[in-house]
Amino acid sequence: MEVGQMQRRLVDYTKSLFMEGFLDAQFLQLQQLQDESNPDFVVEVVSLFFDDSEKLLNDLTMALDQPNVDFKKVDAHVHQLKGSSSSIGAQRVKNACIAFRSFCEEQNIDATLRCLQQVKQEYYLVKNKLETMLRVKQQIVAAGGSIPMIELGF
């Protein structure tokens, strides 16, 4: 695939992520923070997010698997996940966390288990999409092309 095609594909793909609500404006903020002195900033933050989230999801799975669920602890983990997803602009993960927290407050075990599934699903979706996007970017750079600026005229 030649560079021009890859660039167009990247633009369309990125736009769709915003249109479908996977990413929000905060992700654009992160992209603005990347420059020649910090060319890998977005990749680095996103990687930290992946590591952090996977640990939190494991902790959540264990916490909800206990005979006596400690909802305070569960809520604390969800709060952290909500925070980090919000900071990188992973909007659907963040929203799933918000719903999750309200069920933690109710101490509703069935609902919280469903929420956990929902959060996991959203997380793996956005992870997949971000990895795809970053991969295409890498390919463009490797082929000597530049990363197109995304104009979002909403």
Q: Which parts of this chain interact with other proteins (CB under 8 A)?
A: 18-19, 21, 24-26, 28-30, 32-33, 38, 41, 44-45, 48-49, 52, 76, 79-80, 82-84, 86-89, 91, 152, 154
Q: Which distant-in-sequence residues (6+ apart) come within 8 Å of 70 by Cβ?
A: 63
Minimum CB distance to other proteins smaller for 29 or for 128: 29
**In the complex, minimum distance from the CB of residue 114 to other proteins, in angstroms, rounded to a whole number:** 22
Q: Is 146 helix (H, G, I), strand (E, B) or coil?
A: coil
Compute how many other C-beta atoms are within 10 angstroms of the C-beta atom of residue 28. 15
Contacting residues for 102 by C-beta, under 8 A, at least 6 apart: none
Distance of closest approach, residue 31 Cβ to other proteins, in angstroms: 10
Tell me if residue 74 falls in helix, strand or coil. helix
Helix (H, G, I), strand (E, B) or coil at 120: helix
Complex with other proteins: residue 146 or 149, whichever CB lies closer: 149
In contact, 94 and 25? CB cutoff 8 Å: no
Q: Smallest distance, Å, CB 119 to other proteins?
A: 16
> Shortest approach of other proteins to residue 125 CB, angstroms?
16
- Which one, 26 or 139, has the nearer CB to other proteins? 26
Measured from the CB atom, the residue of 49 and 100 that comes closer to other proteins is: 49
Cα–Cα distance measured from residue 16 to residue 23, given in angstroms and rounded to the nearest whole number: 9
